[in-house]
A and B are shown apart, each in its own frame.
Chain A
Amino acid sequence: MSVDTASDSGALPTSRPGRGGGKLAARRLLLAVGPVLIALALAGLLLAALGVNPFEYYGFVVERGLLSPTGVQQTLTRMAPLLFLAAGLIVAFRAGVWNLGVDGQFLLGAVTAAASAPWLVTFMPVWLATVIVFVLAAAVAMLWSLVPALLKAYQGVNEIITTLMMTFLGTSLANVLVKLVFLDPGTTVPQTRTLPVADRLPRLFDTTISSGLLLGLVAIIAVHLMMTRTDFGLKLRVVGANPRAAVHAGLGVPALTIAVFALSAGLAGLAGAVDIVGVQGNVRADWNPGYGLTVIPMVFLARFNGFAAILYVLLLSVLSIGGESAARRLGVPNHFTLVLVATVLIVLAIAEWLDHRFQQARRA
């Protein structure tokens, strides 16, 4: 297994410092950046085959996502939900739980936030309302992951399938809630009530960047420190590395599994809340940005390291903001970003395999 679920398989043995630190750093850099470049090239070939100039496309994406003042502010704002999702995925993957249902958990968190925030701010201070909204969104998302968690913990049912099924259900349920329960009677567009701009998360300084970005950064760094520096994190990693050994070590594996689901889904729910309270203000019917699945490749590229994940989330954010612009201007639909990140994931797995083989050959 080259892209390993449990351990830092990508992290290199640090116990042999004598053998060329420069080379080591260069190799790590190559493994971190190489797959992205190769995937960009491959996807570029696809664009060329479709009759779109890849240089023009990528140039446009970088210009709109990173270089233009409005673009870069949108990009940094978009990072907030993506960081929360990445944090949730890191907890799950490090503990060996394949939570592929983050999109459903995200949407239900978002709908919870959109339903509660405009009502709560009418009779309590905004800061208190925001805190309550975040707690509610996390709680609903956690509840949504309870069935897969129990099935995995006590019946050993594969969580990949159950979480995927719950995402299909969650997407429909979110729509039902928006259209039937929390519909704003004041508009003709089917959507929830809108949170006034003044009551949303404050913007940073004189920019349009939502302070949700800071919350996202805090979340992912906290998760990273929890997984690497606390004994709770160590327990989760042991469960992920070898559940049977974890049982022998006296760990309560079912309880830990449920805790992992709760943390992971809770963070996905917070991602939904931060997107609503920070940016959207409401949920429109049939809104499903599908962030979760595109974040997965980034988390793998980062080798489940929270700090590295921040950089890759930035990359994804640029691609998605730039890609949305390109969809309008160059007529290349957003699906291209999906192809691109999927290619990154596959190229990364191959690159790690090659690297592994290369190391074995050198050692032999």
Chain B
Amino acid sequence: MGGLFSEMFLGALLFGAVTAAVPLLLAGLGEQMSEKAGVLNIGIEGMMIFGAYIGFVAAFYSESLWLGFLAGAAGGIFVAAIMALLCVRLGLNQIVIGIGLTLGFEGLTALLHHFQFSRTYPRLPAAEATVVPLLADIPVLGAALFRHHLLVYLAVLLVPVMSYIYRRTQLGLNLQAAGDKPAALDVAGVDVVGTRTIAVLTTGALAGIGGAYLANVGAGIFVPFVTNGAGFLGVVLAMLARGRPLWVLLGALVFGLCLSLTTALQVAGINIPTDVIQMIPFLAVMIMLVAFGRRSSLPAALGIPYERGAR
């Protein structure tokens, strides 16, 4: 019995925290872009679960995790394309379509899984880690932070990239304007619908990759409803981050730690029922929302479809 705070427990806890944080980070960054552009993307849970399923199928048959991530992105984009067509181009209610897409793809993937895998429940082999030289040799932290799949580092790298896009590029400014004052963007000669479409499709790609990572690396298996609200947690992160990618990363790590705690406590054989442990991440969300909810600022035109000439 090594006790709660043995090195091994701590290492496993931190390693799990990073693994659990990656899908949340990708979903949060994606949702952030949608929200910046004025689209409240409740369908992100559907994009994630479809990305997870397609990504799992691709990785299972091709035996390549990278093809899995690519397919996951394609799956997410597919759902996002429906959302973009209906909510951005036609201007349908984003919440209604978002609920519809989430329910529909949760049901669809569960159904497909039943017909394909419910007898075998195949697993993927453990993901190969990319070891960061030198840093990986730091006791405890090294193994926890620097022995992950390459995608993890890429996902973290996405944070400064996003910051750069929002602060320094024309596209970033356009995205912001599409969410805050779409009419002004239109007058400036930029296609509002096009800008928002880019944002939603990017969200789909990131959410899809996140879903594929969650299923293929995090769980090693696809089961129905495997994302279990990870997409919704991404929406929370985007709300709390107030447009800053770095805050999404920090929030994702906090929630990731809570999620990791649920498995680590079970593995450590702590005598608390699983249902109590499973409440930890969502409890953390509610506490964060109560504490910081007031300061979550959202773009002015969030949720409002843009129609040229409409008042």
Query: What's the Cα separation between A349 and B83 when bound, in Å?
Result: 12
Can you list 15 A-B contacts with CB-CB less than 8 angstroms, sorted by A residue number?
A: A1-B93, A3-B96, A51-B115, A98-B95, A100-B99, A157-B293, A164-B232, A165-B286, A165-B289, A173-B275, A173-B279, A336-B107, A342-B102, A342-B103, A346-B100
Shortest Cβ distance from B92 into A: residue: A349
Q: Closest approach, in angstroms, between the C-beta of A58 and any C-beta of chain B?
A: 16
**Which A residues are in CB contact (< 8 Å) with B42?**
160
Question: CA–CA, A293 to B101, complex, Å?
Answer: 12
> Which of A125-133, A174-182, A241-249, A255-263 contacts its partner?
A174-182
Rank and list the top 4 A-B pairs by shortest CB-CB distance, nearest first. A338-B107, A342-B104, A157-B293, A339-B107
Asked if A72 lies at the interface with its beta carbon under 8 angstroms from chain B, I say no
Contacts known (A157-B289, A165-B286, A172-B279); A179 close to B97, Cβ less than 8 A: no
CA distance A158 to B285 in the complex (A): 13
Q: Is the pair A165, B236 in contact by a Cβ cutoff of 8 Å?
A: yes
Chain B minimum-CB-distance residue to A176: B275
Determine how close the nearest CB of chain B comes to the CB of A8; give it in whole angstroms. 15
Q: Given A169-B282, A353-B91, list of 9 further CB < 8 A pairs?
A: A158-B239, A161-B232, A164-B232, A169-B283, A300-B96, A335-B108, A342-B103, A345-B103, A349-B97
Find out whether the CB atom of B282 lies under 8 angstroms from the CB atom of A1: no
1/0 per residue A78-89: CB within 8 Å of B? Answer: 000000000000
User: What CA separation (Å) do A194 and B289 show in the bound complex?
Assistant: 38
With contacts A155-B294, A157-B296, A176-B273 known, is A345 near B92, CB below 8 A?
Answer: no
Asked if A180 meets B103 with Cβ closer than 8 Å, knowing A169-B279, A349-B92, A353-B92, the reply is no
How far is B228's CA from A297's CA once the two chains are assembled, in angstroms?
A: 21
Which chain A residues lie closer than 8 Å to B91 at the CB level? 1-2, 353
Interface set, chain B 264-311, CB cutoff 8 A to A: 273, 275-276, 278-279, 282-283, 285-286, 289-290, 293-294, 296, 298, 305
- Most chain A CB atoms below 10 A, which of B114, B236, B273: B114
Verify B111–A335 contact, CB threshold 8 A: yes
* Shortest CB distance B298–A (Å): 8
For B97, what are the chain A residues with a Cβ–Cβ distance below 8 Å? 346, 349
The reply to whether A346 and B104 form a contact with Cβ atoms under 8 Å apart is yes
Contact of B275 among A51, A175, A338 (CB under 8 A): A175
Interface residues of A in 140-178 (CB under 8 A from B): 147, 151, 155-158, 160-162, 164-166, 168-169, 172-173, 175-176
Q: B289 contacts which of A1, A100, A151 (Cβ < 8 Å)? A: A151
Known: A173-B279, A179-B273, A338-B106. A3 touches B93 (CB 8 A): yes
A199 at the interface (CB under 8 A from B): no
A343 sits at the interface (CB 8 A): yes
Which residues of A, 301-338, contact B by the 8 Å Cβ criterion?
Answer: 332-333, 335-338
Cβ of B142 within 8 Å of any chain A Cβ, yes or no, is: no
Interface centre among B91, B96, B224, B296 (most CB of A within 10 A): B96
With A and B bound together, what is the CA distance between A50 and B107 in angstroms?
14
Partner of A179, one of B105, B236, B275, B289: B275
* A293 to B276 alpha-carbon distance, docked (Å): 24
B110 interface residue (CB < 8 Å to A): yes
Tell me the B residues contacting A by CB distance below 8 Å: 42, 86, 90-93, 95-97, 99-108, 110-112, 114-115, 224, 228-229, 232, 235-236, 239, 273, 275-276, 278-279, 282-283, 285-286, 289-290, 293-294, 296, 298, 305
In the bound complex, how far is the Cα of B294 from the Cα of A155, in angstroms?
5
In the docked arrangement, what's the CA distance between A114 and B66, Å? 49
Cα separation A1 to B92 with both chains bound (whole Å):
5
Q: Does A25 reach chain B (CB closer than 8 Å)?
A: no
Q: Looking at the assembled complex, report how far the CB atom of A360 sits from the nearest CB atom of chain B, in whole angstroms.
A: 12
- Report the bound CA distance from A349 to B92 in whole Å: 7
**A151/B86 contact (C-beta < 8 A), A172-B275, A343-B104, A346-B97 known:** no
- Bound together, the chains give a CA A338 to CA B294 distance in angstroms of 35
Of A160, A297, A337, which contacts B100 at CB under 8 A?
A: A297
Within 8 A of B (CB), among A83-109: 98, 100
Instruction: List residues of chain B with CB within 8 A of the CB of A158.
Output: 239, 298
Closest to B276 in A: A176
Q: Which residues of A contact B296 (CB under 8 A)?
A: 157
A76 within 8 A of B: no
Q: Is the CB of B96 within 8 A of A168?
A: no
Beta-carbon contact of B286 and A166 below 8 Å: yes
A305 to B236, CA, bound (A): 32
Complex Cα distance, B96 from A5, in Å, reads 9
Interface centre among A340, A343, A349 (most CB of B within 10 A): A349
With A2-B92, A169-B279, A339-B111 in contact, is A293–B104 under 8 Å at CB?
no
| Chain A residues whose C-beta falls within 8 Å of the C-beta of B278 in the assembled complex | 172
B99 contacts A345, CB within 8 Å? yes
A173 cross-chain contacts in B, Cβ below 8 A? 275, 279
Bound-state CA distance A155–B283 (Å) is 19
> Which residues on the B side are within 8 Å of A2 (C-beta)?
91-93
Q: Which residues of A contact B294 (CB under 8 A)?
A: 155-157
A333 and B91 alpha carbons, distance in the complex (Å):
34
CA separation between A9 and B96, bound complex, in Å? 14
* Bound: A157/B235 CA distance, A: 12
Closest A residue, CB atoms, query B96:
A3
Query: How far is the CB of A162 from the nearest CB of chain B, in Å?
Result: 6
CB-based contact A165/B282 at 8 Å: yes
Tell me if A333 and B86 are in contact (CB < 8 A).
no
Q: Which residues of B contact A336 (CB under 8 A)?
A: 107, 111
Residue A4 is within 8 A (CB to CB) of chain B in the complex: yes
Is A296 among interface residues, defined by CB-CB distance under 8 A?
yes
